[in-house]
Amino acid sequence: MELQTKVPLQPIDHPIDYQGKVLLLGSCFVENIGGKLEYFQFPQYQNPFGVLFQPLALENLVKRSLEGTFYHPEEVFCQEGIWRCFDAHSEVRSDDQKTLVELLNQRLRRTRQWVESASHIIITLGTAWVYEHNASQKIVANCHKVPQREFTKKLLSVDAIQSSLENLVSLIGKTNPNAKLIFTISPVRHLKDGFVENQQSKSHLIAALHQIVSSRAPACRTGGQSRGVSYFPAYEIMMDELRDYRFYAEDLLHPNALAVDYIWEKFKAVWISSEEYPVMDEVESVRKGLRHRPFNPGSEAHQKFKKSLRTKITYLQERYPFMKFE
């Protein structure tokens, strides 16, 4: 008896391994995947400007980083004693104007380095709703709780999203033609926009994104790839395989830990090289060992346990010098 519909998935060519580097950009769901990659000690870099929900913000970050269009003091603003930038998430802030500008430009430089060297770039789109700042007529990445009357809310058309994503793919392709782009749609529900409006938003993102993927191959299978651009169906897995509120956090909007683990296992089966599974098991063993709290720290058994753990860490770091264990 089948009690669950399954999204068909197939392993991908050129999967992620410990010799590669992964850049992750986009909505908060990309940080769920990034957190898993970080846990297993894959070289990765997440959201230099913090969480960015909509495609124009992602295009702006990549474009400015690759073109070297650095920020100037007039591009940041002070709100209640804190300096912020409309192009970045509220976590990217400072109590000093010069410090924030330097931080933004430092992260632009680092973003360029990662785009140039990444083997894989994961981009998660969260919403097609955007806010235009009335005074500057510029689409912002984050409103920073500035009064809503200062913005006009707009829904990006499928064509506008497609154009933005085409620019994004082109920018990355010219800089690093070997990078594999993995797009996903965030399963997080943006109900503050409204139930119907959330579905409108997701549908626009999905339609535009599949135009990008399908235009690069005669046919595209679920979870497949075409000329370095792939789609991983995280949204579809959440909607079709985990269609129950027990898989949501208390806010009933975000996938909970169980759902994240489930989708991660699906992602792992498709996008992580199976040859790396034994190394991932070793890393997890060390992680669990470091969290272990003994009843008797001075016992001979615990000293042997610590020695064995140090041996495992040394072995891993000799093979993979970038791994860091606390």
Q: What is the pLDDT of residues 188-202, one digit of tens each?
A: 999 999 999 999 999
What is the count of structural domains for the chain?
A: 2
* Angle separating helix axes 158-175 and 195-214, nearest 10 degrees: 40
Q: What is the CATH number of the domain that holds 92?
A: 3.40.50.1110
123 and 147 part of one domain: yes
109 and 173 part of one domain: yes
The answer to the question of residue 229 being in a domain is: yes
- The pLDDT value given to residue 300: 76
The answer to the question of residue 16 being in a domain is: no
207 and 137 part of one domain: yes
- Taking the CA of residue 191 as centre, how many other CA atoms within 13 Å lie in the half-sphere pointing to its CB? 7
286 and 261 part of one domain: no
Tens of pLDDT, residues 271-300 = 999 999 999 999 999 999 988 887 777 777
The answer to the question of residue 4 being in a domain is: no
Domain final residue pick, 272, 288, 304: 272
pTM: 0.93
Tens of pLDDT, residues 211-247 = 999 876 543 444 444 458 999 999 999 999 998 999 9
148 and 292 part of one domain: no
Looking at the chain, the whole-number percentage of residues with pLDDT higher than 70 is 96
The answer to the question of residue 2 being in a domain is: no
261 and 285 part of one domain: no
141 and 246 part of one domain: yes
267 and 286 part of one domain: no
Q: What is the dihedral of CA 122, 33, 253, 232, to 10 degrees?
A: 50
259 and 315 part of one domain: no
264 and 283 part of one domain: no
223 and 322 part of one domain: no
183 and 316 part of one domain: no
The answer to the question of residue 12 being in a domain is: no
The answer to the question of residue 226 being in a domain is: yes
The answer to the question of residue 8 being in a domain is: no
List all residues 6 or more positions away from 259 whose beta carbon is below 8 Å from its beta carbon: 187, 238, 242, 247, 248
Average pLDDT of the segment spanning 27-34 = 92
The answer to the question of residue 233 being in a domain is: yes
Residue span of the structural domain in which 144 resides: 22-272
